[in-house]
Amino acid sequence: NGSVIVSKDRKEAIKKAKDLGAKVIFLDDAFHKCDIKKLDILIKSIDKNRFCLPSGPYREPYFFEKFAQIKVIEGKDFKRVVEILNPTSKMVLVTAIANPKRLDKYLPKDIKRYYFEDHHFFTKKELEEILKKEKATSLLVTLKDEVKLKDFGFKLSILKLEIKIDDKIIKKVDRYIKEFYEKKDSDRPYTS
């Protein structure tokens, strides 16, 4: 059971999560947050990025990798599992995620693809035009895109992307959490 809290201020978000009763808090893109003591897990994907970790603005230089307590390497420590839910005979991919071409290797070759900028706000009209142009029976979308498209009333096929993590990584995280709770309150790392 979990909640998602969105906030520009990580410390405020942590406080809110604790107020809501959270026992464990996961921060996305917090590798660079040095003023919050935490377990830093670095996820290294097969897609190479030699400039920053992870890719994108406000990220750390590649050599900062050495500061991660746990490195999780795609293909060794985790693998991606992809499933298409509600497939139809003629799907067209419509997505507005960062680096959408990374989906290509999981798609059937005959699927037309429409890539929009990350966080694009879709309009019903543009989606109708795509469906008509491609004579598609459904829009193939990620779960992130589905949230923005579900109220338009189109038939949606979902590209469900999951990550299967090796048990040894899960055990390392569990051990960290257990050790955290075994400490006296005064000995715990700063978390709010």
Is 144 among the domain residues?
A: yes
Residue 133 reports pLDDT greater than 90? yes
**What value does the mean pLDDT take over residues 113-119?**
92
Residue 30 reports pLDDT greater than 60? yes
Helix (H, G, I), strand (E, B) or coil at 97: coil
Higher pLDDT, 60 or 50: 60
State whether 87 and 26 are in the same domain.
Answer: no
The full DSSP string for 107-124 is: S-TT-EEEE--TT----H
Domain that holds residue 115: 80-163
Is 91 among the domain residues?
A: yes
CATH of the domain at 115: 3.40.50
Residue 13 reports pLDDT greater than 80? yes
Is 126 among the domain residues?
A: yes
Is 64 among the domain residues?
A: yes
Q: How far apart are alpha carbons 42 and 191 in whole angstroms?
A: 19
State whether 84 and 40 are in the same domain.
Answer: no
Is 170 among the domain residues?
A: yes
Beta-strand pair 78-85/156-165:
antiparallel
In the chain, the number of structural domains is 2
Residue 66 reports pLDDT greater than 60? yes
Is 54 among the domain residues?
A: yes
Is 123 among the domain residues?
A: yes
| Rounded percentage of the chain residues whose pLDDT exceeds 70 | 85
**What value does the mean pLDDT take over residues 125-131?**
97
Using the structure block, give the residue that is written with the tokens 């059971």: 1
Band (6; pLDDT cuts 50, 70, 90): confident
